[in-house]
Amino acid sequence: MTRAKQSTARPARTPLPLWAAVLMGIAALLGSLSIAVSVGAISIPLETVWGVLIHKIAPNAIAVDWSNGREAIVWDIRFPRAILACFVGAGLAMVGASLQAVTRNPLADPHLLGISAGGAFGAILALLHTGLFLGLLTVPLLAFLGSLGATLIVLGVSQFASATSADRLVLAGIAVSFIVMSGANILIFLGDPRATHTVVFWMLGGLGLAQWDQLIYPATILLLCGGFLWLRSGTLNAMTIGDETATTLGISVARFRLTIFVIGALITGVMVAFSGIIGFVGLMVPHIVRLLVGGDYRRLLPLCALCGAVFLVWADVIARTIMAPDDMPIGIVTGLIGGMFFVWLLRKKLG
């Protein structure tokens, strides 16, 4: 009997080392970027894609055997678009994972909690009413303030309605999201009709406005805030166990939770300012990564960033090719995939 049990017992699976998982994620990301820049209404060979990249980094390294038009498509249009997809996907995935820790809610997501809607409100306010009074910083700044305001409203509503449970917090976020989006629609209604078509970008999500000189803003926010979240991985692990356990470990639970919400609002607001509302990335990616590597945030956060980047790059590829030469808003693609994932998650959690 003992021998039978020993013979049928499966050895415990050793988790893949973090460095190996990160290297695999980077390889997948580089491959995805190559394909994303290559495909489109005009297909460009992969050797040309890498040739243009090498030529821009080291102008005299290789011979130029492509046209100026193809170089412009690769370098000026598709590369910044794909890199912006990486930044946005990585940022939203890390925010979603962090919110799920501090709320202990598997359904927490910057889109469902109204944070993205607040960012869109701020961006629309800047575009249609205040003008770019701070230059290129105006839209990201007001988007962050909008996201932060929506976050504070969600927290206030949850306290007012005694919605302290995980499920009710999401319901409070959804309610605030509807209210904030109604405010954004009022701003559109009161704005210049000739300019309102530009806000469709923020309502439906898209990466078509990506430019090299603007990528510094999401890159800086992702590096600083993402690094902060990773450095606090141990605290996030403690928060997943419960407030009482975290308190016994010397963690100021309320202050840390508010800090994570502010950091999440900053990342989401800046990403929304350049990509519009892209939903469900922060919901899906952390759950998928947990299935692969477990729930330790020291492993989870960097891999969420890589997987979020890969996911959004491929979502953008679908958005660009499914109706080529026209671009489908990427928010439609992520909404369709995310909605089905949300239903599956509800069935798994409630079943």
Over the stretch 20-30, which tens digit does the pLDDT of each residue have? 889 999 999 99
Record the pTM.
Answer: 0.87
The half-sphere exposure of 284 on its side-chain side, counting CA atoms within 13 A, is 23
Task: Please tell me the predicted confidence (pLDDT) of residue 11.
Answer: 45
pLDDT of 193 over the 70 cut: yes
Rounded to an integer, the average pLDDT of 259-284 is 89
pLDDT of 6 over the 70 cut: no
Answer yes or no: are the C-beta atoms of 116 and 280 closer than 8 Å.
no
Q: Provide the token pair at 327.
A: 């671009």
Rounded to an integer, the average pLDDT of 315-326 is 86
pLDDT bucket at 241, cuts 50 / 70 / 90: confident
pLDDT bucket at 12, cuts 50 / 70 / 90: very low
Least confident of 72-76, 169-173, 193-197: 193-197
pLDDT of 196 over the 50 cut: yes
pLDDT of 301 over the 90 cut: yes
DSSP string, 163-216: --SHHHHHHHHHHHHHHHHHHHHHHHHHS-TTTGGGGHHHHH---TT--GGGTH
Task: Please tell me the predicted confidence (pLDDT) of residue 340.
Answer: 87
Task: Please tell me the predicted confidence (pLDDT) of residue 32.
Answer: 95
Domain coordinates in residue numbering, the chain: 84-350
The half-sphere exposure of 46 on its side-chain side, counting CA atoms within 13 A, is 7
Rounded to an integer, the average pLDDT of 27-42 is 92
Q: State the sign of the Cα–Cα–Cα–Cα dihedral 143, 155, 285, 242.
A: positive
Chain segment 90-136, per-residue pLDDT in tens:
999 999 999 999 888 887 888 878 888 888 898 888 888 887 787 77
CA angle 262, 99, 279 (to 5 degrees): 95
Q: Under CATH, which number does the domain 84-350 receive?
A: 1.10.3470.10
Task: Please tell me the predicted confidence (pLDDT) of residue 292.
Answer: 86
The mean pLDDT of the chain is 85
pLDDT of 5 over the 60 cut: no
